[in-house]
Amino acid sequence: MRVARRYLITGRVQAVGFRYFALETAEREGLHGWVRNLPDRTVEALAEGDADALDRFERALRHGPPGARVDHVEVEDRMPAGRDTGFFVT
């Protein structure tokens, strides 16, 4: 089943390679969407794909790359767009 979720990640998540960690994880899981830094020092991601793959992606986001400290991950379900766009960093 295809689902989409928006993630807002807080903590020490900028200047630690978090976006590229998310990119590699999403590509490995076959997800589509994007990840970006926000001005308030949080990271936002929107991912779409198989529900199990999104669960694995979320677990990875909650851990983050070495050097990161994830304090909180807010998750919001979205309507899947159904487009296969790949995953990219904005």
Residue 19 appears among annotated catalytic residues: yes
Residue 36 appears among annotated catalytic residues: no
**Structural domain spans, the chain:** 2-76
Per annotation, catalytic residue among 12, 36, 37, 56: 37
pLDDT (tens digit, 9 = 90+) per residue, 40-67? 999 999 999 999 999 999 999 999 999 9
Tell me what percent of the residues of the chain surpass a pLDDT of 70. Answer: 100
Asked if residues 2 and 79 have their Cβ atoms less than 8 Å apart, the reply is no
- Architecture of 2-76 per CATH? 2-Layer Sandwich (3.30)
- pLDDT at position 1 is 86
Query: What's the rounded mean pLDDT across residues 6-11?
Result: 98
Mean pLDDT over each residue of the chain, to the nearest integer: 97
pLDDT (tens digit, 9 = 90+) per residue, 74-90? 999 999 998 898 999 99
Per annotation, catalytic residue among 12, 19, 56, 83: 19
Cβ-count burial 31-53 (b if 16+ within 10 Å, e if not): bbbbbebeeeebbbbbbbbeeeb
* Integer Cα distance of 77 and 72 in angstroms: 16
- pLDDT at position 83 is 83
Stated pTM of the model: 0.95
* Integer Cα distance of 86 and 90 in angstroms: 13
